A and B are shown apart, each in its own frame.
Chain A
């Protein structure tokens, strides 16, 4: 598996913008922009009829002039505007400037009112390959890569020569790889048998499943039993390529299930980690745990709003969410839960009541509607691990974050004085108290820590799913499931259970579907708990199990 590139939308746009600037500086040197065929064609992009726009795009394709790139890019990206003078302008969404489509210079004053050039997928399907062809000559490797990928996908007609030429001068390994595939598609459609066989070999090696239907077509037989492809050498090569692609795809699918399972496990662990402390160590059946997740997510939302969606608001949200939920948790422990120790049923009812109260409070403050927590640009998009397998950055970040937090919790419990006190209190409260440990203070801090970690979970969840008052309700069952399967009172158990449940779920899901997958996992858990009521890792020690 090769780590090849990021296909982040934000990133792409950035590079394109750089390209625009580069193009601009190039034009500043030779500013004679007389009306010419390119000018006319770009002007045509602002035409009122879709047919005219399509025709202009074709003209631009024939002219093969890189000056048209900003205008075409803006067209595909909903950023092309028609000024009051009927001419097209490029709207720069970052600086909120109006620019000339060819020179890129800021137009002052802007010819308002500006009207949007409205294009649909129909036009985009025509414009994207043309844009990609022009961008093959871009100085930025990422832009060339995106262009090569676009061309290998669409197999744009007559691009063979162009692609060969681009391949010859290409230095960047990643772009070369994508270009080779694009060339292979063009060669395969050609007539030269040697080139076709070579293309098929390359396709087989790449494992790219985008060619599967083409390969299938080459290897099938006509109704009368004759092969669809007359050249036997090509058929054999296609068969080999198909086997290779399919086996590659099977590997990718299995690897994908494992990675998706890992990512689900990280979410499960996050929602369960706090509970492993409040329920596992303190023994409080904490029905309000889900609401701590929810409060953490709302803290993220509040920080986002306060910082006006600054790029790194998420980093600032981490301590805020931790402290806010931690303090609320500690206050709950002091105010309500400490009066109920040793009475699990009352605790259950009281915490359930608290959870309803918290939900309603949030509803009153933020409204019943879900709120938008945006992925910052550095977390949108994904990492292409192999052909056909993309892991979103947000999920990778959550995996990394949960490892850090779990390590932090382990450190606190095993290596600090406070952790020692906690372990002492959970093992034998009376004895710990006799030795001078302020058990009540330890309880409050523990509950605060557990809630704070749930708050961190909320920060993570806000990047993956919805943020609404009922967020916690969706996760509370999962959280208890993980803690119970892992073994009450053991953090290692929670980690192992989350991993196991996550991966089992994702291995079942492709075959059985999401609904059945969930049911199967529940059945497995019931059977497991029947056999081993104490969970994966039983607590050994003085406490009765």
Chain B
């Protein structure tokens, strides 16, 4: 136990010397004193505990259950290859039940009681915002695998889902292009909470910049679980007369089913009125008759239909795992973007631990920022040490009759995430950079001066 503490101090000191540590650690007495070498072997040979924090019941279970499954699959895969640092990974699965405050409590349990080395979890932004203070207070490590609204960068979180510039902006640009139909008028439709509101705020600024007037933008929100889309679809139809119109949907969760049903029933075709969705993937389409939706779009960083050897292997692994564990849904189970992001996140963490030769959060955090993984989408993906976000390719797909997506556009390679949107005036000045001399996720000036001294607050 004493050994461990020394190692910890040593690593902290190292991190401190690199100039990337948090002030809290720096304040610890003796932290700056030379301690035992950081490379000292850890004598703990027991399994490494890994937390999995996804809702397995409640409204979000529809989406998050698959992430828990794919996380367990990835951990099993790593264990089969001998684990990490010669130690097995032991998943600790908890169910926060789509209850946002419960997320925070479960996260605290995972770090304090279970002493997990890392946590993979959360889906909705509101759940992430709820656990954020816990991870920052206890210096935990969270990998967040879902596309989100940006405007955040935490020392304790790695974001493996897309930021708005890796999903929303390219999708809108595509719909503006000739290939995408040349939309001139925009409907921004979403569920009423932080992610759609922030995304639409960014999109509105972006559309203004592209010369779209306010009268050509319609913004509408519905409550969580809304199921009566008659009026909204009729309104959209009316608004769409005249100019070429596109709908940007940030509707989240199972409301998408009645929404798309209504589109189909009212005879709206993708060639006349394309709808691009940011939260609808293969998993969500499983609940819908996709024939009337052929040609509707989704923007992601991965599709199950992507034809790469890596993806083939990924899907095979997933199918075998589903079959072996007899998971509900059986052969109909699909892979999707957040599942890929979970997979990449776990791989990167495992690589980083191997490199750091310890599971210590501060050491691993330094290493994670430089990891590369060949992703199922076929790209060499890297984590950005500066803003803690993943570089991601952007892929736009059209729904096919079988519920899969046909890729119609993609970026040449992965693009870097912008944690702070340059289109929002207040955010444009902010910088997320956790390396020296910035060491900050939300600053307009570096924290450290040229000599390594802390700059004025």
List residues of chain A with CB under 8 Å of any chain B CB. 7, 9, 77-78, 118, 120-122, 124-125, 128, 153, 209-210, 212-214, 216, 249, 253, 256-257, 260, 263-264, 267, 363, 366-372, 374-375, 380-382, 388-390, 392-395, 464-466, 468, 470, 474, 506, 509-510, 513-515, 518
Contact = CB atoms under 8 A, between A and B. Distances in A.
A466 B287 contact: yes
Contact of A518 (B223, B274, B286, B288): B223
Interface of B: 56-59, 61-62, 65, 179-181, 192, 220-223, 225-228, 230-232, 234-235, 237-238, 241-243, 254, 257-258, 261-262, 264-267, 270-272, 274, 286-289, 291-292, 294-295, 328-329, 398, 400-401, 406, 408
A208 B144 CA distance: 49
A394 B265 CA distance: 9
A371 B294 CA distance: 21
Given A9-B264, A257-B231, A514 B295 contact: no
A368 B65 contact: yes
Contact of B265 (A209, A264, A390, A509): A390
Given A369-B62, A370-B62, A382-B266, 11 more contacts: A118-B406, A121-B270, A212-B242, A260-B231, A375-B289, A380-B265, A381-B264, A466-B227, A466-B287, A514-B220, A515-B223
Given A381-B265, A506-B231, A514-B220, A121 B274 contact: yes
Contacts of A514: 220-223, 226, 231-232
Contact of A125 (B181, B237, B238, B400): B181
A368 B181 CA distance: 38
Contacts of B408: 120-122
Contacts of B264: 9, 380-381
Contacts of A118: 406
Which A-B residue pairs are the 7 nearest by beta carbons? A213-B242, A367-B328, A392-B265, A465-B227, A368-B61, A514-B222, A466-B254
Contact of A510 (B235, B241, B257): B235
B311 to A, nearest CB: 17
Contacts of B231: 256-257, 260, 506, 509-510, 514
Given A380-B289, A466-B287, A515-B192, A210 B267 contact: no
B257 A7 contact: no
Given A210-B241, A390-B265, A395-B230, A370 B287 contact: yes
Nearest to B328: A367
A7 B257 CA distance: 20
28 contacts: A9-B264, A9-B267, A77-B401, A120-B398, A120-B408, A121-B181, A121-B274, A121-B408, A124-B295, A125-B181, A212-B241, A253-B238, A260-B234, A264-B228, A368-B56, A368-B328, A372-B289, A382-B265, A388-B238, A395-B230, A465-B258, A470-B58, A506-B230, A509-B231, A510-B235, A513-B220, A514-B232, A515-B221
Nearest to B219: A513
Contacts of A214: 242
B57 A370 contact: no
A256 B234 contact: yes
A392 B192 contact: no
